[in-house]
Amino acid sequence: MNFRNILVWAILLVLLLALFNMLQTPRQAEPANQLNYSQFMDNVEAGRVAQVTIEGQRIRGELTNGTQFRTEVPPDAGVTAALRQNDVQITASTPEEGGMNIWGILLSWFPMLLLIGVWIFFMRQMQGGGKGAMGFGKSKAKLLTEKTGRVTFDDVAGIDEAKEELSEIVEFLKDPSKFQRLGGKIPKGALLIGPPGTGKTLTARAVAGEAGVPFFTISGSDFVEMFVGVGASRVRDMFEQAKKNAPCIIFIDEIDAVGRSRGAGLGGGNDEREQTLNQLLVEMDGFEANEGIILIAATNRPDVLDPALLRPGRFDRQVVVPNPDVTGREKILKVHMRDVPLSDDVDPKVIARGTPGFSGADLANLVNEAALMAARRNKRLVSMADFEEAKDKVMMGPERRSMVMSEKEKTLTAYHEAGHAIVALNVPASDPVHKATIIPRGRALGMVMQLPEGDKMSMTYQEMTSRLAIVMGGRIAEEIKFGKENVTSGAASDIQQATRLARAMVTQWGFSDEVGPVDYGEGQGEVFLGQQIVQSKSVSAETAAKIEKEVKALIETGLSEARRILTEKNADWEALSQGLLEYETLSGDEINALLRGEPPVRDTTVPPKPSSGDTSSGAVPVIDDDDDDVAVPGGLEPRPGPA
């Protein structure tokens, strides 16, 4: 872009120099000697004029000494007779007054024309890449032909239900008579709903690739401008283009940018976004039918969309594109591993079982990180050890081995993390311990990772209370080992996670007999000026006091349970703490072996592998010792069950 700007200014400079030269050239070509009429006649009578050229009342000529001259003569002066008497060579020519005037006009108007051209150029640049000064309201939708890089359903994995819903649209586009003979009508729209990274945009491209029809793509933000009416004009123009290419597909990504609920703006609801939404509603299902145009939209915020946009007749189908399950993750990994040379020990099924909660984008990033790690080590094949290390990096952050920790901090971190691990191994309901480390990763000084044995959709009360004990295990470990007066701030994120879990148990999930099964959580509220207004439910002071009392009681119960376990299992806790100080990182199998009195066997050339029971599980919950009080992504915050 910088080179382009330099080129534009260079062209302007050259044009200005050319203009200067053009204006200067006539002056340089003029004769040097300007004579008045009297001087001219004196030279004629003295015989010093050799030849002249007469152009009306203008005379150009040459003296006998070679000097050029010019002069103006009055009308009817008898100059020709005087020239003939003195033997002057006479040449007559007709002045081209019209041509000279046009050339002069062009020269005089050239600077203004140049300025107008420069102004038009910059206006075209400001209006989005050459659509012209009158193209401000034109649609920015791009028509994709997909001659190369065509995406089909074979390139989309892990969302079988979504593909089944959309495959019917593809079949309708290919053979509409199959459905029309039974009275079926082509769906007008399909809304893809799901968290970020699940493949909504890729799925829409696959629909276009399978159907083989024109595919228009545009972002919701491309409709929104500072001028009222521009977005509506672009919607109209987009559907006009689609009608010319029907049957076709229009894909609007992030439709929540333009489809938010109406009635929350200022000025009577006449802002630009609402005008654009109104036009979109009319084009999708108004008086004029748009046959053969299917609108596919994607969003991860369906709760903020206008109800009129979601009704049948506009978006007939709402297709949920969720995070994949273990089978879907295995299929997605196989898709991304197509172009990666793998060693024989790589098992996509094991990796899939170790990554619950990962989206398709997360899995693509995991495969890429493993390939990069293998490339840095000059390997020819990507091994399972590379995938394990890449998984740790993605979930826990990169190791900060350059960070220097004092022996005191290292010891405190080891006992803190060992406390988490020992409590996790002895509570009634807990996920297997996958790994414990005191090597700083990301913003945490150390952490214990637990991996569930399968995909979890909900949590039981016993699992929640066990989770509270595990979270508070680090704080109790510091208190027992170093004394209450030496407890550090390292458990700040643990306390935050425990408080969130306990408050959700009391206010949302009804796990308190004192408060009862009443939802006291915060409401979703409504959208106002693009922001969500969170409306807290009215809670009396007495009820709020009960809630705080119950939350505190749950956390203190977790503290008591963690203290009991660490007191009874003091020998195991000490052994694991010393093991962490010696080895820094221990896998699940190594922790179990260490507690049986068997020292871990380390291969210095290969990173430690997780336990067999743990590799079959997935990775999200992380207990971290973080002095910055920042929770590691995917921490202990529970995932509520399906609504």
* 578 sits in which H/E element: helix 570-583
Q: In 3-state terms, what secondary structure has residue 474? A: helix
Q: Quick one: CA dihedral 90, 92, 95, 96, positive or negative?
A: negative
Q: Quick one: CA dihedral 624, 629, 633, 634, positive or negative?
A: positive
Strands of 477-628 (E only): list them.
Answer: 526-528, 531-533, 585-587, 622-625
Q: Which residue, 421, 419, 412, 352, is CA-closest to 387?
A: 352
Q: In what order do the strands lie in the sheet with 215-219?
A: 142-144, 215-219, 248-253, 293-299, 189-193, 317-320
Return the DSSP state at 431.
P
Which residue in the block uniquely carries the two structure tokens 């091994």? 383
Tokens read off for 126: 């400001």
User: What are residue 532's DSSP bridge partners?
Assistant: 527
Q: In 3-state terms, what secondary structure has residue 69? A: strand
Tokens read off for 16: 């200005």
* 210 sits in which H/E element: helix 200-211
Q: In 3-state terms, what secondary structure has residue 92? A: strand
d(CA 380, CA 371) in angstroms, rounded, equals 10
Inter-residue contact 231 to 252 (CB < 8 Å) = no
Tokens read off for 257: 């940018």
Work out the angle at residue 122's Cα, subtended by the Cα atoms of residues 121 and 125, and round it to the nearest 5 degrees.
Answer: 95
Assess whether the previous peptide bond of 247 is cis (omega < 30° from 0).
yes
Q: Which of 369, 417, 463, 561 is catalytic?
A: 417
Q: Is 485 an annotated catalytic residue?
A: no
* 320 sits in which H/E element: strand 317-320
Count Cβ atoms within 10 A of the Cβ of residue 93 and give its class: 0-12 exposed, 13-18 middle, 19 or more buried.
exposed
d(CA 384, CA 390) in angstroms, rounded, equals 10
Residues labelled catalytic: 417
